[in-house]
Structure 1
Amino acid sequence: MTSPIPVINVTSNVTSDETEEKPGPTRWVTRRFSLRGRVTLLAAACVAGAVALVSLGAYLIVRDNLYQQVDDNLAARAQAAVDSPQVQTQLRQVPGAFLASADLQIGQLNFGDRITLIYPQAGTPPPYGDSEIAVASGELPRSLRTDFRTDSRVIALPTGHGQAMVLAQSLAPTKRTLNELSVVLFLIGGAGILVAAAAGTAVARTGLRPVDRLTSAAERVARTGDLRPIPVSGDDELARLTQSFNTMLGTVADSQERQRQLVADAGHELRTPLTSLRTNLELLLSASRPGARTLSDEDRTDIEADISGQLDELTQLIGDLVELARQDEPRTQFEHVELVDVIERALDRARRRAGEIDFHVELQPWALTGDSTALERAVLNLLDNAVKFSPEGSVVRVQLYPLGDGTAVIEVADSGPGIADEDLPKVFDRFYRSSEARTLPGSGLGLAIVKHAAERHGGAVYAARAPEGGALISMRLPGTPE
């Protein structure tokens, strides 16, 4: 069946308008609108597309069905007109269908010496053309077409030799029905789009509420430095994002707390040597003023020795602080480390300042991925700590052996007085110094550096009494034997 061109034009224009109007606003909104606005627009656009497709499909199906009904009805009435008996009126015989064709344009086309069309006097003659003439002449068994001049469907069936019954029905009622249907579909589709936009807004507002809380928390942290965690509800992706954000806040808070504690402890530890150093310097300066009491050579020598010792103490303390701060920095690249080589390098440095103390060394191969510089500094701190508490002529035992569970342990045992039971849990704390160690040089950061290095490499540290009677400090590290 040939579809009427005006209907096709109307449908094509509507579809084209919808297609042309969507991309522009969508791209503009994507650039300028918030995430909530984009979610709302996406929901409305999806529903609009679905409604447009459904409406277009429904319109096309109804249109085809209506036109098919017009054609079927027209064909049935044409066949009935052909089959109807002739009636005589005013001494003229005409088809009986002429008397029951108020809604049709009907006529009988005669083809002979000339072409004539017989139709009811009160009616309108149906349009005819080459197709209908061909049916009357016997060239075509039937014809069905749309006459665009009168906007009607025209059918022709043969009624005998040189005759054809021609019926025409206006398409105006069908088009009026289709226009009403298009208005209904447009209104229903528009209402559906508005409902979808409202639902999308509600869903976006509810779904993005955790994102708003995260945004507010981030702005609060940037504005006030307040690292309090935000409440978590649910177990979806946004809840996990909130938990991750809280974990990050906790990590930052812990880092700030460690920094504050380090600064406070460093200030406390620096106060004593700085005060003593200032006192000695003021004493030397006051003794050099005119008229002041001069110092004896022995007193001057003692003061100068005190100043030199205090400077050494400050130097060591500052170096340990720098090392501790450097170890707090994140390291993304580790290297293959042979632990035996690391310990031997630390032993070479420790022997140069160990005096009469000897080292008994037993090392088994062990390798891991890590920072060789940090590990060497940690082992050197263990050795220096053992040397500091060992008497002259004693032996410091150094061992490296695997435990059989994927880890190896470095043990350093001295021959000193050992560690008191109440001091064992605290020896790895920053700036902690036992009562026996307060009279010895040191910053109280050496074993804290050892603990930090071990934990960075996935290990741990332990303190106990050695069989020799002194202290036994162990550092356990993961790795593989080689």
Structure 2
Amino acid sequence: MSATTAPGDGSGEDPAPVEDDRRDRPAAPSGWHVLLEIPLRRRVAILVSVGAGLLVALISVAVFFTAYRALYDQLDESLVERATAASSSDLADPTLLLKVVSSDALAAGDFRVALVGPTGRYISIRGNEPPIGPPEAEVAAGKPQPPRTGFVDGAAYRVVAVQSGNGRALVLAQELDPTRRTLSRLAIVLVVVGGIGVALAAVVGVAIARAGLRPVERLISTTERVARTGDLQPMAVTGGDEIARLTRSFNAMLAALASSIERQRRLVADAGHELRTPLTSLRTNLELLVAAEEGAASGRPDAPRLSDEDRAELTADLRAQIDELAQLVGDVVELARDDPPEIAAEHLDLSEVVERALDRARPRAPAVRFAAELATCEVVGDASALERAVLNLLDNAAKWSPPGGEVRVVLRAGVAPERPGTAVLEVADAGPGIAPEERELVFDRFFRSADARTMPGSGLGLSIVAQTAVRHHGGVSAQEAPSGGALLRFWIPRA
């Protein structure tokens, strides 16, 4: 006996496994992914052509089989009528069948006749025998059978058998070549017409894709123009279909983007303008301080000198300017964010937030008295952002109130019909008030009235108040206080 071994190096060890790199090969794209890689216009044309081709093919098949069934039913009905009439005529007599009817006459009529017995034996004219089989013998035995297709010498015949009495059946067969030629011509016509229909469907599909996707191409060209040039001009909208809705949405997006860019541009311009003044003053004071220090170090008699009182005043001014600059930069950064930051939403009592803001505001304005009337108001929001907004309101009221003046702070729950379901904070100062034409502007960025330009501030504090109210789904307003000063309202929904 000879043993067979696996191919190897003869060492008896298993061969090293071959590393299969099929895992590193990219997966072959499926048919659907391949279709998605085709441009949309061609895809629409292909889908329309395929759909129209399937529809034409379905209609052609239905027409062909309907005509097929109709022709065969008509032929069967005609043969049954002829066979029934012949079964009661002289053809039913075997002796007369052979004497009266000639084979040439039957051949000229494209049909064949025979008389069949229950045993299957039949009488027919030689050379014109129809297809005879068990179904015809069954008819002779008294069991009706439906028409059938039989073959003689390779030729197809439609065969009908009817009883003719005395245990016999009359068989009538007609050649199917004319019917089949008709069906063949019909099939050719359907194929040609179907092909023309598919070609026309392809042309129509291309036209539909081109006309239907023209607005999409305009939208694509507009987006490319915006990305290339930064021009945010909206598109012209025509019609009221889905493409028109998409165009309107795109125009709305462009308008929002243009508004955001304009706000950022104005913010940068206004911030640059507001930063210029404190920076200039800060540089002047620093240059004066540096010059005094250098003069004192040089020992020259004509060098500028500063007294201790002037030096302390200048240092205090520098600190104040640095604080003002830091506050301005912080306000600009806060307002520069278009998207609202994540609010640390928590249930809190707004009266406690106002109390903390009052504790911070009183040391800042020792010459002003704060009178508070606070009711408990449960809200949901960011405690630090709300405290900063309230502190800005208090600082603004203290700035405009004269020494010895009173700032009234009232927190209450809104009642119908004023602010139902809200917590309303009112801050009234003892100042000159706000002109009616400026009450809608005091919450804008960098807005400062003519009287306010001589006072400290950047014009951003009330803007932060309005932004905080909006982010908490509330609002702000400016009115005249009963005492004649300004009355600022701030409200947000209660929990």
TM-score w.r.t. length of structure 1:
0.81
Where 1:155 maps in the other structure, the secondary structure is strand
Amino acid across the alignment from 1:324:
L
Counterpart in the other structure of 2:18: none
Task: Return the alpha-carbon distance in structure 2 between the equivalents of residues 450 and 430 of structure 1.
Answer: 11
Task: Return the alpha-carbon distance in structure 2 between the equivalents of residues 311 and 256 of structure 1.
Answer: 30
1:128 aligned to 2:132?
yes
Counterpart in the other structure of 1:118: 124
**Partner deviation per Cα, 1:407-427 (whole Å, 9 max, x = no partner):** 554221122344456754543
- The answer (yes or no) to whether the contact 2:86–2:92 under 8 Å persists in 1 is no
Where 1:323 maps in the other structure, the secondary structure is helix
Distance 1:215 1:432, change over 3 A: same
Task: Return the alpha-carbon distance in structure 2 between the equivalents of residues 462 and 160 of structure 1.
Answer: 112
- The farther-off stretch of 264-273 and 99-108 is 99-108
Where 1:359 maps in the other structure, the secondary structure is strand
Where 1:61 maps in the other structure, the secondary structure is helix
Q: Deviation of residue 317 (structure 1)?
A: 0.9
- The farther-off stretch of 262-271 and 184-193 is 184-193
Counterpart in the other structure of 1:404: 416
Amino acid across the alignment from 1:404:
A
Amino acid across the alignment from 1:145:
R
- The two structures, once aligned, show a CA RMSD in angstroms of 3.6
1:259 aligned to 2:274?
no
Amino acid across the alignment from 1:398:
V
Amino acid across the alignment from 1:66:
L
Distance 1:370 1:162, change over 3 A: same
1:167 aligned to 2:181?
no
**Partner deviation per Cα, 1:18-67 (whole Å, 9 max, x = no partner):** xxxxxx99847732333333333343344333333332222222111211
Task: Return the alpha-carbon distance in structure 2 between the equivalents of residues 354 and 177 of structure 1.
Answer: 109
Counterpart in the other structure of 2:274: 269
**Partner deviation per Cα, 1:389-432 (whole Å, 9 max, x = no partner):** 33444321001232523255422112234445675454333223
Where 1:274 maps in the other structure, the secondary structure is helix
- The answer (yes or no) to whether the contact 1:398–1:413 under 8 Å persists in 2 is yes
- The farther-off stretch of 375-384 and 107-116 is 107-116
Counterpart in the other structure of 1:147: 150
- The answer (yes or no) to whether the contact 2:103–2:128 under 8 Å persists in 1 is no
Counterpart in the other structure of 2:493: 479
Task: Return the alpha-carbon distance in structure 1 between the equivalents of residues 223 and 230 of structure 2.
Answer: 9
Task: Return the alpha-carbon distance in structure 2 between the equivalents of residues 348 and 130 of structure 1.
Answer: 117
Task: Return the alpha-carbon distance in structure 1 between the equivalents of residues 142 and 481 of structure 2.
Answer: 123
**Partner deviation per Cα, 1:133-186 (whole Å, 9 max, x = no partner):** 5556x4655674322553222234455657554332222221211122122223
Instruction: Give the counterpart of 2:468 among 453, 457, 462.
Output: 453
Instruction: Give the counterpart of 1:193 among 183, 187, 198.
Output: 198
Instruction: Give the counterpart of 2:287 among 242, 258, 282.
Output: 282
Q: Deviation of residue 361 (structure 1)?
A: 1.3
Distance 1:91 1:140, change over 3 A: closer
Q: Deviation of residue 280 (structure 1)?
A: 2.6
Amino acid across the alignment from 1:146:
T
- The answer (yes or no) to whether the contact 2:267–2:336 under 8 Å persists in 1 is no
Amino acid across the alignment from 1:103:
G
Task: Return the alpha-carbon distance in structure 2 between the equivalents of residues 431 and 112 of structure 1.
Answer: 116
1:43 aligned to 2:43?
no
Matches within 5 A, 1:235-314: 235-289=240-294, 291=298, 293-298=303-308, 299-314=310-325
- The answer (yes or no) to whether the contact 2:474–2:493 under 8 Å persists in 1 is no
Task: Return the alpha-carbon distance in structure 1 between the equivalents of residues 49 and 446 of structure 2.
Answer: 64
1:329 aligned to 2:343?
no
1:318 aligned to 2:329?
yes
Q: In structure 1, list runs of 5 or more residues that go unmatched.
A: 1-23
- The answer (yes or no) to whether the contact 1:465–1:472 under 8 Å persists in 2 is yes
Instruction: Give the counterpart of 2:389 among 367, 375, 378.
Output: 378
Amino acid across the alignment from 2:273:
H
**Between Structure 1 and Structure 2, how many residues are aligned?**
452
Counterpart in the other structure of 2:429: 414
Task: Return the alpha-carbon distance in structure 2 between the equivalents of residues 79 and 418 of structure 1.
Answer: 117
1:466 aligned to 2:474?
no
Task: Return the alpha-carbon distance in structure 1 between the equivalents of residues 90 and 358 of structure 2.
Answer: 129
- The answer (yes or no) to whether the contact 2:91–2:97 under 8 Å persists in 1 is no
1:430 aligned to 2:433?
no
Distance 1:380 1:161, change over 3 A: same
Task: Return the alpha-carbon distance in structure 1 between the equivalents of residues 357 and 390 of structure 2.
Answer: 6
Task: Return the alpha-carbon distance in structure 1 between the equivalents of residues 430 and 202 of structure 2.
Answer: 80
Distance 1:65 1:25, change over 3 A: farther
Where 1:151 maps in the other structure, the secondary structure is strand
- The answer (yes or no) to whether the contact 1:339–1:367 under 8 Å persists in 2 is yes
Task: Return the alpha-carbon distance in structure 2 between the equivalents of residues 248 and 27 of structure 1.
Answer: 32
1:106 aligned to 2:112?
yes
**Partner deviation per Cα, 1:107-151 (whole Å, 9 max, x = no partner):** 43576999564315xx54323234445556x46556743225532
Instruction: Give the counterpart of 2:398 among 387, 394, 400.
Output: 387
Q: In structure 2, list runs of 5 or more residues that go unmatched.
A: 1-28
Distance 1:336 1:58, change over 3 A: farther
Percent identical across equivalent pairs? 50
Where 2:364 maps in the other structure, the secondary structure is coil
Instruction: Give the counterpart of 1:69 among 63, 69, 74.
Output: 74
Counterpart in the other structure of 1:344: 355
- The farther-off stretch of 333-342 and 212-221 is 333-342
